[in-house]
Chains A and B, each alone.
Chain A
């Protein structure tokens, strides 16, 4: 099971485990439009579940800034040089699932978020875990 350090990040329950699709992504709408600070604005997030990998769960921005479209969740999961990535469907840039780095363009990095599983409930900590 996933080991996630409990930190003071604001966890939000997102969906049930059965909503995730093995070896593929789904998309969730996060954030609170009325809040301020790290929770401000709405944000769509791609959730990936890779049963044979460690860790098994990944949360990453759904917006592909290169394509200018929210499509990351619909990308294909690809292992490149031992790293799990998602290939964005439009222009096929690869983004590393663990830290969001774009393999083809070092100036681009997606935000990634901690994921926790509590029973069947999948939660995401919205505060960026890096940057």
Chain B
């Protein structure tokens, strides 16, 4: 079979989505795919471009990976734009002179930033905000600058202003129109947004037209209409986008009057062999400058290539976002332009909240909405709008603050199965119901299977409603009891233990449980007791509650022997201590391996050897490493500014500080941390529960990352923190996790199941919305204040040491534990090897 030649021109987010979606289909095999990318690197996440300034690296933002494309069998040509299309011959010629024939051509050329033709706009310190290279240039120019101006008060312009502010500049926004975000917001909404942004130190100049830019005394003078002026050091243009349609135009494809490649419902251009998708395409005389409609076009084009009948018929352009910390939402016809439309507005000047809903003449359907300062109602309003659901009798209740819970909540049941719940991944209510019917019983499982709520996360609360409702409809009792012995969740038990000051498992079982307990509730309660009261895990009432690793304070290996991991804070170790580790390993014939957490693991210790081994390690100054516990493991670090020419902070010092601070903290699951000394991120902090990355101005804090079986990239939580604030946030974060997580739930899964997600977590930790900040810190201080090295206590307590006898009736070792040598070290003998040893020679 001859494969059809498919050429994709452009490798932005939409082009990448096309390739990714195609790779997942069996029809992939029908095509020979070539990708032309004008930029030096494949697709990256432009939606989160600003995070590049906040510590995300180019690799973090990458979407298309060279290796991945190779795996998919695509030919990827970087740094090579397509120069011309010969439609008659069906060939293209690239800038580097490559000629390729095609059967199908996909134009995903995107858009370019519009720069108003103001005299002086080509000055070297005028920039646009579009690519990583643009951001590098802005960052470089900001180094000796004091002031920066963004021309354009739209969504991207405000992001750029925030970026300038974070680069330490005095930031201004200059907007031609009378208000900010004039496309999405009405007058009232944009006025409030302006006030809020000015409170944050960004100066906003609306109704301001720039007439001239000139260099005066090494700075840039902006001349505005009406004899006003502003002197600045750099200017960023963010005055909208224009479709990149030059290539299509010179090939004779039909373009719109004001640009854009005209497409039909199939996403075909005026040439049936050529598709156009994303921001370069013009459908129904509109350009769709959001990612979701672009993705939808990509999926439509693929379906058509595969002979299916999907259509793109426009898209909803509603948006919800946080700009400079201000929540902004816009739905549908925000300006109430429809004939006969009427509106209801709610303003709370004190709290800085503006909400407006626009209804049809009959007051039955929601046409649009504007929300500034509080977007809590966004999801519900969007569902009313998208699904044409009839509004309640008194629609104002939808935006008025709740009085005694009177707000009529739109139950998930009111939504049709076709309702889109997650617009990032285009997941409908029907698909979620199917997932639940197919056996997904928790929010986490549904997210994993459907991808819903894994994009912006804005639909998480609604998703939970749909899942709960479907579970209830199936008659599945949502039972989150810890186990048959306690009819409580872990979080409830934590509260019971704390408030009732319960000190032992037996006391808790007697007062609030039943039976003898099991391997679920015993370690869970032991962990709660340790988090709250921090007794030695081996003190009398707690014996028998722990799994074997905690019980013997070592990690059991497959043959019943243990491995021992002393703490090496931050991975920093003196030669003398390193020698001690070697000497101990040699003396007890232990297998040694360096761990991923920058420590040394000593394997093959017999139960009865553990106390002797620890006595030697403790004499040399080591402490237990808690490798056996659901507790802080290690804080990995790079050498940082002390040695590294790129380092900007002392990462080892910080790693030592936090490892020593949180060592011994018992938690629902293990906790891993890392500290990197610069954005190169050599300590891999973004795969940890708590990741700290140095910046010029302090530390960026990442949370809830994970490696292992289900890797999760950590979320950027807060930026440019000083030492004290960093530690305060980590204190609160960890204690909040300890209090509220389910048993054996890592921070990554905990966050995914946390209603309100990352934003809520920020509100609790940073803004102290629940008013528990001080309490969390106090609780952490108590744990830190009562730290003891468990092994040091154990080797000095004859009662505890009795536990480490292999046999209670003899000092003989367990003859079943046999080692053989491999690569100069011991390892457990295999079954066949044991027999051989047992047989007389």
Contact = CB atoms under 8 A, between A and B. Distances in A.
Interface of A: 14-15, 19-24, 26-29, 42, 44, 47, 50, 52-53, 63, 67-71, 74-82, 84, 87, 89-90, 92
B560 A70 contact: yes
Contacts of B560: 69-71, 74, 90
A78 B559 CA distance: 23
Contacts of A29: 807, 809-810, 812
Contacts, number: 95
B249 interface: no
A89 B816 contact: no
Contacts of B519: 76, 78, 87, 92
Contacts of A78: 516-520, 522
Which of A19, A74, A90 gathers most chain B CB within 10 Å?
Answer: A74
15 contacts: A15-B809, A19-B802, A21-B543, A23-B543, A26-B808, A27-B807, A44-B814, A47-B808, A63-B816, A67-B558, A68-B831, A69-B558, A78-B516, A78-B518, A78-B519
A104 B803 CA distance: 29
A79 B809 contact: no
B499 to A, nearest CB: 26
Top 7 nearest A-B pairs (CB, nearest first) are A23-B544, A89-B548, A24-B544, A78-B518, A69-B560, A79-B516, A19-B808
B550 to A, nearest CB: 10
A81 B484 CA distance: 8
B556 A90 contact: yes
Contact of B808 (A27, A67, A80, A81): A27
Contacts of A63: 816
A28 B543 CA distance: 19
A111 to B, nearest CB: 16
Given A21-B543, A87-B519, A74 B551 contact: yes
B808 A76 contact: no
A43 to B, nearest CB: 11
Contact of A79 (B485, B810, B816): B485
A52 B552 CA distance: 24
For chain B, the bracket of interface size reads: 35 or more
B208 interface: no
A78 B524 CA distance: 13
Contacts of A24: 543-544, 551
B75 interface: no
A63 B807 CA distance: 13
B431 interface: no
Interface string B355-397: 0000000000000000000000000000000000000000000
A14 B556 contact: no
B830 to A, nearest CB: 10
Nearest to B485: A79
A3 B492 CA distance: 40
Nearest to B546: A76
B515 interface: yes
A45 B558 CA distance: 19
A22 B544 contact: yes
B223 interface: no
Contacts of A47: 808
A69 B816 contact: yes
Nearest to A87: B519
Contact of A14 (B551, B808, B816): B808
Nearest to B807: A29
A70 B517 contact: no
B740 interface: no
Given A19-B809, A29-B812, A53-B516, 10 more contacts: A14-B808, A24-B551, A50-B516, A68-B559, A70-B560, A70-B817, A74-B607, A76-B547, A79-B518, A89-B556
B211 to A, nearest CB: 75
A45 B556 CA distance: 19
Contacts of A69: 558-560, 816
A24 B814 CA distance: 20
Given A69-B559, A87-B519, A74 B552 contact: yes
B556 A74 contact: yes
Contacts of A74: 548, 551-552, 556, 560, 607
Contacts of B558: 67-69, 90
Contact of A76 (B515, B522, B552, B816): B522
Nearest to B523: A76
A70 B606 CA distance: 12
Contacts of A90: 556, 558, 560
B559 A28 contact: no
A37 B597 CA distance: 52
A90 B549 CA distance: 10
B518 A80 contact: yes
B806 interface: yes
Contacts of A53: 516
Nearest to B810: A29
Interface in B698-731: none
A60 to B, nearest CB: 15
Interface in B445-500: 484-485
A29 B484 CA distance: 35
A52 B802 CA distance: 23
A25 to B, nearest CB: 9
Listed residue (B485, B518, B809) with the most chain A CB atoms within 10 angstroms of its CB: B809
A53 B831 CA distance: 38
Interface in B277-296: none
Nearest to B806: A27
Interface in B329-357: none
Given A26-B808, A68-B831, A70-B560, A79 B515 contact: yes
A75 B548 contact: yes
A24 B552 CA distance: 12
A22 B808 contact: no
Contact of B516 (A14, A15, A52, A71): A52
A70 B815 CA distance: 10
Contacts of A79: 485, 515-518
Contacts of A71: 548, 556, 560
Nearest to A69: B560
A89 B807 contact: no
A87 to B, nearest CB: 5
A14 B809 contact: yes
A52 B544 CA distance: 14
Nearest to B814: A70
Nearest to A28: B809
A63 B560 CA distance: 10
B547 A15 contact: no
B543 A15 contact: no
